[in-house]
Amino acid sequence: LFAYADDAGAGPGMAANGQGTRTGITPNPVEEDELPAEVEEKLRTEIGQLKRAMQTRPVIDLARGVLMASFSLNSEDAWSVLVEASQCTNIKLHHLAQELVGAVNGAPLPDRVRQQVSAAVTETLNPLSPNHRRHDRTSPTSRPAPPDSDSLAL
C-alpha cells in the first residue's frame, strides 16, 4: 500500500508524486553547507523565537504559580488568566507576568492590570460563565470565592 520513492519507480532525476507515477521534476541540488535563502531565513526566525521563549518562560511560569497559589487555580486556568489579561490590556504576556511577579515582591500593580487579572480570575472561577472549564483536579466548590477588583492584592 505505502511504497518508498524507489519502490514507486522513481529513478535518478525523477520524484514519486505519491500516486505511483513519476514526475519530471528534479530537485535542485544544494551544497552541503548551503541552504536556500528562504529556508535559512525561516530557520533564523524560528531560532530567534525559540531563544525569546526560553528567556521569557521562567517569569511566565512564576506568574502562573502566583495565580495558582493566590486563587487556587490549576495550571491551565492560571495560563488562561494570563492570556486573557494580556489580551485585554494589550500587554505582552511576559511583561504582564513580570508585573505580577513584581507585585509579589512589593511593586505596585497598575490598576488596569489589577482589574483585568481580577476579571479574568472571576470569569475562570464562575461556574455559570461560558468560559468556565471544570477540571477533575479542582472542583468549583473547593475554590475560594472570586475576588473583586479592589481585593486583588498580590
pLDDT, averaged per 10 consecutive residues of the chain (154 residues), comes to 49 52 57 75 86 82 95 94 95 95 92 94 82 51 51 54
Q: Is 0.75 surpassed by the pTM of this model? A: no
Contacts of 8 (CB under 8 A, 6+ apart): 16, 20, 21, 22
For residues 16 and 8, the answer to whether their CB atoms sit within 8 Å is yes
Task: Give the C-alpha separation, 145 to 126, whole Å.
Answer: 9
Identify which of 91, 79, 77 has the alpha carbon closest to the alpha carbon of residue 146: 77
Identify which of 66, 69, 65, 87 has the alpha carbon closest to the alpha carbon of residue 131: 87
The answer to whether the Cα torsion of 78, 61, 68, 152 is positive or negative is negative
Q: What pLDDT does 140 receive? A: 44
Q: What pLDDT does 71 receive? A: 94
Task: Give the C-alpha separation, 141 to 16, whole Å.
Answer: 60
